[in-house]
């Protein structure tokens, strides 16, 4: 059974950094796209970043470029999201996802989702 378990969220101050982690288990994720999404209160879930498990190629949405870094550790089966210079508008539940579809990592269908980890940024 595939499981994606996020961790690392919490209450932080604006300007701080945070590293989210997603532990993936239950199958081999080679050829999978691993993504991070977020959903702020009252808003739709949005794409943040993705990484191809095998090649390590990364993709970022525009707002994530420069402050967010996605990475994966094949030995540990984890996908991390480093967020620097946190802003109040980064407050959201952050989700990890895994997908095997064709298309843009931002819009493709993802097969598996984690439960999310809350990130709250205060002023």
**Helix or strand or coil: residue 62?**
helix
Per-residue pLDDT at 122? 97
DSSP bridge partners of 80: 21, 71
Per-residue pLDDT at 118? 98
Task: Find the angle CA(93)-CA(94)-CA(97) to the nearest 5 degrees.
Answer: 135
pLDDT digit string, tens, across residues 37-83? 999 999 999 999 999 999 999 999 999 999 999 999 999 999 999 99
Per-residue pLDDT at 49? 98
Per-residue pLDDT at 31? 87
Per-residue pLDDT at 101? 87
Q: Distance from CA of residue 19 to its chain's centroid?
A: 10
């Amino acid at each position: 059974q595939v499981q994606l378990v996020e961790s690392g969220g919490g209450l932080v101050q604006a300007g701080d950094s945070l590293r989210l982690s997603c532990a993936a288990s239950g199958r081999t994720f080679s050829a999978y796209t691993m993504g991070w999404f977020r959903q702020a209160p009252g808003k739709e879930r949005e794409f943040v970043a993705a990484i191809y498990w095998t090649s390590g190629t990364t993709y970022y949405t525009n707002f994530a470029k420069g402050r967010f870094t996605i990475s994966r550790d094949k030995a540990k089966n984890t996908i991390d999201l480093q967020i620097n210079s946190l802003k109040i508008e980064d407050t959201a539940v952050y989700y990890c996802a895994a997908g095997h579809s064709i298309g843009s990592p931002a819009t493709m269908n993802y097969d598996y989702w984690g439960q999310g980890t809350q990130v709250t940024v205060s002023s």
